[in-house]
Structure 1
Amino acid sequence: MSKSLNDDLFQKILSNKKSFQDESQEPNENDLNEVIKNLDPEQLNMLAQLYSNKEQQSNTQNDQKNFKTFLPEPGICFKTKNLNNSQKVFLNICQSSEINSPKDITEQELLKLIEQNDPENAAFQFRVPMSLGEAHTELDNAGVGCVAYDICINPDFLDKIQKIPTFMGFLMSIVIDGLQDKYSIKLDRNCKLLKNKKFMGQIKEQFIRVKSKPLISEMEKNENKKSQELEKPKSQMPKYKIFREPHDGDKVEFLVAEIELPNILSANSIQLDIGEDRILLNTRSQLYHLDIYLPYNLKQEECGSQFDKKSKVLTITMPVQN
């Protein structure tokens, strides 16, 4: 005789498997198999459907916990076009205090970064936090269809780019790169700032991540260890280079980082964590420390690294999300 849906043991099967780990005594595997064996095809299908729905609900709840919505405020608006179809494109540079401000550097420091590297590599050194919204269709003043993208930055940085043209040009360069990589489009870099327009279309909500996987777990320290830690000299930032592959073209398949660690003897001394858009490196001897953000989102589970004992160079390969 088939078990009914009200059977206690059957209900346990429908629950997430992780719940078993929280109980002092797990259900006997033979009992579970016996229940499943006695189910008719209709009940088996119901079991599969209920478990699938529970998994989807759990994933949705986790996603909601990791992200929050916010409504940006108008800022400034640029006009450009999609080079693939000549369609008019508006770039709404909006603002919200929910977006972090980049580190405060001078115009001279930014120019030095650009001169030492090309503008794309300079973005690795000076990362601008931003949120790139989805495309939304609008009508321009002539009633012709166009596309608008909302790019949200910190209000203080918005004020800075309006006062210093160098920062304005740098921002628009990385905005266009980001939109092209994220949405596989080709935009004209000759953008025009619209003086009398702060926003094209209607402001839409955006999402930001509020909880992420910790890059390195904190180690418990007693007060004596904390005091000793303060007395140790600061770690130095190692020299590094980051390349994109392929080198040319709009689409980036993966990034390669080469980090020089001349005083490290083996890979066992290296503590490396790859975040969604971040590299965090420390060494057990505390000789080196590197914490950099990347202008791309990475496939964390596919990243890999290798340390060459002869050259003392750590190579990290990081596939990029497209």
Structure 2
Amino acid sequence: MEGLEDKYRTQLSREWRLLKYRPFLGSISQQNIRTQSQPRPPTIQELGDGTEDRPLRLWLEAPDLLLAEVVLPKVDSARELSLQLGGDRLVLGSPGAPYHMDIFVPHDINQEQCRAAFNRKSKCLLSLLQTLMISMPLQTACS
């Protein structure tokens, strides 16, 4: 009661009684009690032990060109994707599908020259699925 008085800056009456055989006022609504627990989805999803293919692959094509290939099996169109490239960061999101990647890139990216292409059902390096190919030229010492 003191917490409520402090929070709302008011004075509550201290004249109240605890009813002996009636612990509440009003009527009790019907309650449903589940007899078996329902399985919960895992809160942490294991991506694998390293033997199977990964949904993301990064590699240097030339000393100044970084390529990324992202496999997105649940995306049908590039319109469902949001891609943002920072100086050293790649952020890929999809509001309609369960994809969100925030990847640190250990190089400085030239943002103005980056290109991305979405390929549906194309034969990519990882599998036969929808892929997003991202070409990221790197900053050179001169630029």
Q: How many residues align?
A: 84
Give the number of the structure whose alpha-carbon radius of gyration is greater: 2
1:286 is displaced (CA, Å) by 3.7
Q: TM-score, with normalisation over the residues of structure 1?
A: 0.25
In structure 1, distance between residues paired with 2:139 and 2:61: 13
Match of 2:61? 245
In structure 2, distance between residues paired with 1:284 and 1:290: 12
Structure 1: gaps of 5 or more residues:
1-232, 247-251
In structure 2, distance between residues paired with 1:273 and 1:262: 20
Match of 1:26? none
Match of 1:315? 133
Secondary structure at 1:276 match in 2: coil
In structure 1, distance between residues paired with 2:88 and 2:137: 11
Q: Which has the higher strand share?
A: 2
Establish whether residue 303 from structure 1 lines up as the match of residue 114 from structure 2.
yes
Structure with more relative contact order (C-alpha pairs < 8 Å, separation 6 or more): 2
Which of 271, 278, 281 in structure 1 is aligned with 2:92?
Answer: 281
1:271 is displaced (CA, Å) by 0.6
1:38-49 to 2 correspondences below 5 Å: none
Match of 2:13? none
Secondary structure at 2:73 match in 1: coil
1:241 is displaced (CA, Å) by 0.3
Percent of aligned positions that are identical: 37
In structure 2, distance between residues paired with 1:289 and 1:305: 17
Secondary structure at 1:255 match in 2: strand
Root-mean-square deviation (CA, aligned residues, Å) is 2.1
Structure 2: gaps of 5 or more residues:
1-41, 48-53, 123-129
Q: Which has the higher helix share?
A: 1
Establish whether residue 262 from structure 1 lines up as the match of residue 73 from structure 2.
yes
Residues 75 and 97 in structure 2, CA contact (< 8 A), matched pair in contact too: no
After TM superposition, the runs of 4+ consecutive aligned structure 1 residues lying more than 6 A away are none
1:309 is displaced (CA, Å) by 1.0
Q: TM-score, with normalisation over the residues of structure 2?
A: 0.54
Match of 1:85? none
Residues 74 and 97 in structure 2, CA contact (< 8 A), matched pair in contact too: no
In structure 2, distance between residues paired with 1:315 and 1:299: 16
